[in-house]
Structure formats: C-alpha cells, structure tokens
Amino acid sequence: MTESWSKIEVALIVADYFDMLIKELNRIPFKKADHRRQLMPLLKNRSEGSIEFKHQNISAILINLGRPYITGYLPRYNYQILLEDKVIDYLIHHPEIESDFQQFVEKDLINPQIRLDFEKIIVTPPEIVSVTEPKVLYQHKPIKINYLEKEQSNKALGLFGEELVIEYEKWNLIKLGKDKLADKIEWISKLEGDGAGFDILSKNLNETDKYIEVKTTRLGKETPFFFSSNELQFSIKKASDYHLYRLFNAENDVKLFQKNGALNNICKSVPTMYKGYF
C-alpha cells in the first residue's frame, strides 16, 4: 500500500504547482515533465504518475475555490483534506498571486484565432462529475473573490465567443444547404442586452427557433460556468430548443462543445447566491 503524502511533501508539490501556474498565467514557457523530474528526488519514492495525479488534485481544489488552474492538469476531485489545507495556506501566505489572478481574468484576448477550421472545432462534452464544495474552515482571511466567475464577465472574451458561435452556426447551416436560415441568425444579447435568457437566436433544420447560450473561457473544458436564474428558467421553458455552447481554450486552439436541454439537466449545478425577504 502506498504511504500517504506527508505535510512536507504536500507543501513541496503545492509550491511547485503554483510556480507553474504563475508562469502559465503570465505566458512564460515551461515544461511540466521537467518540474516533475526536479520534484521527484525531494519526495518519498513518488512516481511521475503519482505526482501528476496530485497536480490534477490541486487543479480541482483551485476550481472549487474559484481560481484559475493549469489547463494541462485536468481536475480530479478525490483529494485529501491535507492537500486542500496546504493550497489555502499558500493562497493566504502569498497574497501577491491575487494580482496575477486579477490580471488574467480582466485582460483582453491575446492573439485570438481568427480563421478556424470548423470541421475540427467540436469536441465531446465532459462527463458530469460529483463535485464537493470546499468547507469554509479557514480563519481570518476567507477566499472572497471567484475569479472564474469574473473571467466569464470579461466583455471582450464574451463577445469573442458569441461572434465565433454565430460564424459557426452560419457555416453549419450553409454546409447543410440551409443558406436562407443562416441569414436569419440574430445576435440577441448584442441587440437586446443580457435579459433575454439566451445570447443567439439561430434556426433548427426544420426552421424552428434554436436558442443558444454561449459561455467562454480561456481555461479548459472542465472549468465551471455560471448562469442566472433568468437563464435557468428560460432553458427550462424552451428545453427542447435550448443549447449551451461552451467555448474553451479561447486563446490557444479554441474548441467547442454543445449540450441540448434545460441547464438543470445538462450539468450538475449548485446555488451560489440567495435573496432574502422580509
């Protein structure tokens, strides 16, 4: 049986992860394999696979905390409490990293792809996994800002994603011989604002309305997205014609997956805000 990771080992791998994360956020090249090999002599006979799995655990913790993560390390949520504690400790004792997070979510897109191969852009949606929200046990300085939600509010990022989806929808309808339907696509969020409950009005092949909600991120496809009560209720009302288009890797090899149906059915959701009445 593999020996549990010690506090020293966990602290070392957390520091190593954040070193890579800061480089990624600032577009500084690095090789994950080099980091693993440099870390191995400091640990107790841990394999490269074991180290990578721990890095994936840290990605999951950061997602739960509303923080950017290393996109190459897909989140694995079955992590030990000690690892979560060390990640939170690192964030508390290195407040300067907050400026890196802030800059990442607020910056304009850097060299977004203009010409895309729509034949290759669609990928399979991620599976719905059971995610445990972090227990707020830390004292004095709780984690207050959800940077993943702030990134979704980045207007330049949102416009990029919606415009790309419009181009994709037009391309797809024309490819299927529905040129006249392609001309009927409307950019609702741009024309009417965000209150409609969806972003783009497209057309199904039978000429009925197709309601598209676009969510865009620079991060990976497992990154959580956020939706309003209005969007949820509209998706329930128009479930059969409601489509979520999730764009990810917006600055690097952008990809897209689609899911059809009410938001409360096509993903696992948790409430993040409540309204009190008297």
Average pLDDT, 10 consecutive residues per value, the chain (278 residues): 86 97 94 93 92 96 95 91 94 94 88 75 85 51 80 94 96 96 96 92 97 97 94 97 97 93 92 80
Count CB atoms within 10 A of the CB of residue 125: 14
Partnered with residue 256 across adjacent β-strands are 122, 247
Q: What angle do CA 181, 185, 186 make, to 5 degrees?
A: 155
What's the CA gap between 241 and 234, in Å, rounded?
11
Chain position carrying tokens 């972003």: 199
Please report, as a single letter, which amino acid is at residue 212: I
Q: Which of these, 81, 68, 63, lies nearest to 107 by C-alpha position?
A: 68
Q: Which of these, 149, 224, 233, lies nearest to 197 by C-alpha position?
A: 233
Chain position carrying tokens 């640990």: 43
Q: What is the pLDDT of residue 132?
A: 56
What's the CA gap between 76 and 60, in Å, rounded?
6
Please report, as a single letter, which amino acid is at residue 35: H
What's the CA gap between 222 and 224, in Å, rounded?
6
Give backbone dihedrals phi and psi of 243, rounded to 5 degrees, phi first.
-130, 130
Which pTM was predicted?
0.89
Q: What is the pLDDT of residue 114?
A: 62
Residues shown for the chain: 278
